Amino acid sequence: MTDTTTTLTSCPAVPALPDRLSADTRSPFHIAAVFERDVGIKFNDKDRHDVEEYCISEGWVKVPAGKALDRKGHPLLIKLKGRVEAFYR
């Protein structure tokens, strides 16, 4: 038999996922401690791997609009509305 209480307490504390999170380091919603682990996003019950920013309470995600870039070389983002779920992988 294995003792599950020792394995749970031995792993480092994982920060809770915020309501709004951005992958862009220039954003005020970027939290570096969250990105130490892999974050997964389910949008309308489908896994998305291209999400740049999300907000659970407002129900939207921002994803790149194809290969289009702005004048500073960052991808242009479009906002999609729906049901958003964030989790650690």
CB 53 within 8 A of CB 21: yes
Q: What is the pLDDT of residue 86?
A: 94
Categorize the per-residue pLDDT at 8 as very low, low, confident or very high, splitting at 50, 70 and 90.
very low
Predicted local distance difference test score (pLDDT) of residue 11:
55
The residue with tokens 């294995």 is 2
The neighbour count for residue 61, using CB atoms within 10 Å, is 23
Give the pLDDT score at 13: 77
The model's pTM is 0.79
Beta-carbon count within 10 A of 4 CB: 8
